Amino acid sequence: MLYKSTRGGASNVTFSQAVKMGIAPDGGLFVPQENCVLTAEEFQNMASLSYKDLAIAIISKYAGDFTPEDIEKAVCNAYCSGSFPLEDPAPVVSVSESLNVLELWHGPTSAFKDMALQILPEFMTKSNQICGDGKEIVILTATSGDTGKAALEGFQDVPGIRVIVFYPEDGVSQMQKYQMITQEGKNVHVIAVNGNFDDAQTGVKGIFGDQDFAVLLAEKGYELSSANSINWGRLLPQIIYYFHGYYSLVKQGKINLGDKINIAVPTGNFGNILASYYAMKMGMPVNRIICASNDNNVLTDFLHTGTYDANRTFMTTISPAMDILVSSNLERLLYDITGGDSEAVASYMAALKTDGLYSVDSKTSDTLQNLFWAGYATEQETEETIHHVYEDYGYLADTHTAVGIHVYEKYVSATGDQTQTLAASTASPFKFNKSVAEALFGCEALEGMTEFQLLDYLSEQTGQQIPEPLKGLDKKQVLHKGVCLPKDMETCISEILGVTQ
């Protein structure tokens, strides 16, 4: 499989080149050059595979310049070497008659980002061996909280690679912040940005687009790459778990092989939900994909009206990983839905950059509406959902998962559709323990408790175990204290790498 840019400026790019570059030179995102569709026989045979073998089967379709041994090694290192302690890395838990959650947070950082960021370093190292020219790769990452930690954990002490993470100073939970600022490793750097996630992401995108800076870095032996979901190497591993979820429903007797299911995804940068779209394109039977947002409901409006308008107030919510107004991966969907019209995509993205908005034509909008159902949850609705899902079904959902479940419930009331649904559960409730505990017990009951005391409290009250990696974070040494303004991010990188501009 070869790759090209959504904006038309690059084609015939190999998997390893796409992974190593992260973003296309014209600012577009890499997408597969052809459709990859499973035969009926392949789809059937994959039903009985373990997660590991399923991963190998799917990755083999896309990683054309990796040998079968490379792929097997990458998959084993990521999923079978203890990072995911459960036998099933992504278990499906039945919540109600037709709602099932796909738990994606049993990895080392307790959020779904691990599903991809445990294997991306494997892809990156191999890609650099295949098509690198001996430069040290610098992974530059803007994070709304979870990507940063998962990237740090995945790339910690990987030879030939450095990681620099920028996070919004006041835009992440205490638990997320502690996870990052206590990160160990000789090759990791963590910096707070005085701004929100969009500021950090825009800053990083600007640095990727700065050709002079790239030349300067190259002279010093460095090359930038990305661990954000703009990197195809992040998206690919996410396709696997949707198939795995589907086959799990078959095994549990909830559906027969070939039945359609709905997918509900709490969405931020549109990466996770896009992976479900790719799974569908490959042949997984899907009825509706439910796109759930929080108060930053730019995607809800877009899917309802065909106009993407980022000119609105950025809201800081209790589901911070979804506090995003510019959802990067939507670009890949637009490319696909318009039948590969890179001119149209480039013009939408140019308009987004200059005016903060663009509109797609009515045909595109109709196509989107036939497949996606969009809605959002307010802060209060999110809290109520955490409460009611726990009371009614005994399921403890984190704030992001609750947004997804709420919008799914709205969808059911609006349509009456009882199709079996797989809702992505994207973080452990303990990672967002303060908001979860407040939703369950009210603020008064928690007064005076620190986030770390709350971990124990939540565990005692619900009888659920605190994930190992979140325990004892407050006792760890703070190793990263740097702060910078969005406009100084490039300078900050120069200082870290010892490159003078």
Ligand X SMILES: *Cc1c(COP(=O)(O)O)cnc(C)c1O
Judged by CB under 6 A, the stretch of 47-55, 261-269, 359-367, 372-380 that binds ligand X is 261-269
Minimum CB distance to ligand X smaller for 106 or for 400 = 400
Catalytic residue flag (residue 363): no
Judged by CB under 6 A, the stretch of 27-35, 107-115, 287-295, 349-357 that binds ligand X is 107-115
Is 467 one of the binding residues for ligand X (CB under 6 A)?
Answer: no
Work out the angle at residue 144's Cα, subtended by the Cα atoms of residues 474 and 206, and round it to the nearest 5 degrees.
130
Q: Encoding tokens for residue 123?
A: 């892809």
* Site size for ligand X (CB under 6 A): 18
Q: How far, in Å, CA of 286 to CA of 282, rounded?
A: 11
Look at residues 311, 314, 307, 301 and name the one whose alpha carbon lies nearest to residue 348. Answer: 307
Is 295 one of the binding residues for ligand X (CB under 6 A)?
Answer: no
Q: Out of 100, 187, 272, 364, which residue is the one contacting ligand X (CB under 6 A)?
A: 272
Strands in 483-484's sheet, in edge-to-edge order, are: 222-226, 136-142, 161-168, 188-193, 483-484
Q: Which of 52, 61, 73, 113 is catalytic?
A: 113
Is 111 one of the binding residues for ligand X (CB under 6 A)?
Answer: yes
Minimum CB distance to ligand X smaller for 71 or for 235 = 235
**Smallest distance, ligand X to C-beta of residue 72, A:** 27
Listing DSSP states for 244-296 in one string gives HHHHHHHHTTSS-TT--EEEEEE-SSSHHHHHHHHHHHHT--EEEEEEEE-S-
CA 97 to mean position of chain CA atoms: 28
Q: Out of 89, 107, 148, 268, which residue is the one contacting ligand X (CB under 6 A)?
A: 268
- For ligand X, the binding residues in 340-379 under the rule CB under 6 A are none
Q: How far, in Å, CA of 404 to CA of 411, rounded?
A: 11
Residue 189's identity, in one-letter code, is H
Is 126 one of the binding residues for ligand X (CB under 6 A)?
Answer: no
Minimum CB distance to ligand X smaller for 249 or for 397 = 397
Interaxial angle between packed helices 271-282 and 232-251, expressed in degrees from 0 to 180 and rounded to the nearest 10: 60
- For ligand X, the binding residues in 222-241 under the rule CB under 6 A are 229
Q: How far, in Å, CA of 350 to CA of 227, rounded?
A: 23
Judged by CB under 6 A, the stretch of 79-87, 246-254, 263-271, 447-455 that binds ligand X is 263-271
How many Cα atoms within 13 Å fall on the side-chain side of residue 365? 15
**Smallest distance, ligand X to C-beta of residue 321, A:** 3
Q: Out of 19, 152, 322, 333, which residue is the one contacting ligand X (CB under 6 A)?
A: 322
Q: How far, in Å, CA of 78 to CA of 160, rounded?
A: 18
Is 480 one of the binding residues for ligand X (CB under 6 A)?
Answer: no
Q: Encoding tokens for residue 95?
A: 């919540």
Minimum CB distance to ligand X smaller for 3 or for 270 = 270
Minimum CB distance to ligand X smaller for 132 or for 145 = 145
Is 146 one of the binding residues for ligand X (CB under 6 A)?
Answer: yes
Q: Out of 148, 171, 203, 266, which residue is the one contacting ligand X (CB under 6 A)?
A: 266
Q: Out of 208, 241, 270, 430, which residue is the one contacting ligand X (CB under 6 A)?
A: 270
Determine how β-strand 136-142 pairs with β-strand 30-32: unpaired
Q: How far, in Å, CA of 182 to CA of 433, rounded?
A: 19
Minimum CB distance to ligand X smaller for 385 or for 426 = 426
Residues 51/53/56/58 CA torsion (nearest 10 deg) = -70
Judged by CB under 6 A, the stretch of 156-164, 262-270, 303-311, 378-386 that binds ligand X is 262-270
Judged by CB under 6 A, the stretch of 17-25, 269-277, 357-365, 434-442 that binds ligand X is 269-277
Which residue blocks in 22-145 are alpha helix, DSSP H?
Answer: 40-46, 51-62, 68-79, 113-117, 120-131
Q: Out of 16, 128, 196, 269, which residue is the one contacting ligand X (CB under 6 A)?
A: 269
Contact between 112 and 229 under an 8 Å Cβ cutoff? The reply is no
Neighbours of 350 (CB within 10 A): 13
Minimum CB distance to ligand X smaller for 224 or for 322 = 322
What are 372's strand-pairing partners? 289
Q: What character string, x for contact with ligand X (CB under 6 A) and - otherwise, covers 411-450?
A: ---------------xx-----------------------
Q: How many residues does the chain have?
A: 501
Minimum CB distance to ligand X smaller for 132 or for 467 = 467
- For ligand X, the binding residues (CB under 6 A) are 111-113, 146, 229, 266-273, 321-322, 400, 426-427
Q: Active-site positions? A: 113
